[in-house]
Amino acid sequence: MSRRRWLPLIVIAVALAGCGACCASAALNHPSATFEFGGLSRTYLVHLPPGRPTGLVVNLHGGGSRGSQQERLTNFDAVADADGFVVVYPDGIDHNWADGRGASEPDRHGVDDVGFLVALAGKLEKEYGIDPGHAFATGMSNGGFMSNRLGCDRADVFAAIAPVSGTLGAGVSCNPSRPVAVLEVHGTADPLVPFDGGRMRGRGGASSIVSAPAMVEQWRSADGCPPAPAAETLPSTGDGTVVHRFTSTPCAAGTAVVFYQVDNGGHTWPGGPQYLPKAIIGPTTRALAASEVIGQFFAAHSR
């Protein structure tokens, strides 16, 4: 079957992210909570760590998915327990986020997801006694785009972000009010969100996006990082992928910008389940455990 004929299946793949049989056994014990914002009833799941929380992680699903599926895909609860984070898994309207590209129902209907996620973070910080400067955002695909937008628009709230397989729409502005620590992960063989940017088509339609290297460079500039990042290659696991890490530090206000370039990596969560065949979404690298690395990065970059 040609790659062109795979495209509808790739779009479906995003909708099914986290739903594969390989992770269906991860039963959820967190009841859905409701939060009224902007005239809409918004739902989310919360995972609490043992002991006093040290921070809050907003973990955002991809297009067509849900918070519960993002919880299974990333297995972030285990990381949160180790690092003391409260993790919230919100649900987007129509299973999508208004990340600014105009390629989703909430975007087209003017849903204020930046406002919703900031308000939700504030609510949870108050409920669980989390200090200001200890809120972070990560996400996959559409959730990765949304994570970047949160860093761009509300650097006063989110101290660090970690987008996976997501950049920004080509026309979306990014003028953070203060430095933000950034960890970006992107596969060079991502069949849905092109590593080199340009035109992409997702569940909500077509859009033009910034390339992964350009997005990282934009953050390096915004954070006042040194001009040349330190480069290293992670040990191979023989799975056909190669992970390169590019670290820029020290940047302004103690931040850092770290870019994990996954050669031959697909539209996946590194270290997570291969939720659909490689022929559809590309391979999942085993050379990087994204959730663990992201948790460590957040723990090191509170304000």
Is the per-residue pLDDT at 202 higher than 90?
Answer: no
Q: Which residue has the tokens 């023989």?
A: 238
Q: What is the pLDDT of residue 18?
A: 39
Q: What is the pLDDT of residue 31?
A: 65
Domains delineated in the chain: 3-300 (3.40.50.1820)
Question: pLDDT tens across 137-171, in order?
Answer: 999 999 999 999 999 999 999 999 999 999 999 99
Highest mean pLDDT of the ranges 11-20, 101-110, 206-215:
206-215
Averaged confidence pLDDT in the chain: 91
Q: Which residue has the tokens 């299946």?
A: 9
What is the pTM assigned to this prediction? 0.91
The β-bridge relationship of strands 158-164 and 135-140 is: parallel
Q: How many CA atoms lie within 13 A of 149 on its CB side?
A: 28
Q: What is the pLDDT of residue 203?
A: 78
Q: What is the pLDDT of residue 12?
A: 43
Is the per-residue pLDDT at 8 higher than 60?
Answer: no
Is the per-residue pLDDT at 252 higher than 50?
Answer: yes
168: left (phi over 0), alpha (psi -120 to 50) or beta: beta
Percent of the chain surpassing pLDDT 70: 90
Question: pLDDT tens across 239-251, in order?
Answer: 999 999 999 999 9
10: left (phi over 0), alpha (psi -120 to 50) or beta: alpha
Q: What is the pLDDT of residue 13?
A: 42
Among 10-14, 118-122, 152-156, 206-210, where is mean pLDDT lowest?
10-14
The strand order across the sheet containing 158-164 reads 33-37, 40-47, 85-90, 55-60, 135-140, 158-164, 181-187, 257-263, 242-248, 230-233
Mean pLDDT of 73-79: 97
The rounded distance, in Å, linking the Cα atoms of 39 and 48 is 28
Is the per-residue pLDDT at 264 higher than 70?
Answer: yes
Confidence of residue 30 (pLDDT cuts 50, 70, 90): low
Q: For residue 54, what are the CA distances in angstroms to 41, 120, 230? A: 28, 17, 29
Q: For residue 216, what are the CA distances in angstroms to 62, 186, 232? A: 20, 10, 16
Question: pLDDT tens across 96-138, in order?
Answer: 999 999 988 999 999 999 999 999 999 999 999 999 999 999 9
Helix (H) or strand (E) holding 209: strand 205-209
The rounded distance, in Å, linking the Cα atoms of 261 and 168 is 17
Mean pLDDT of 187-206: 92
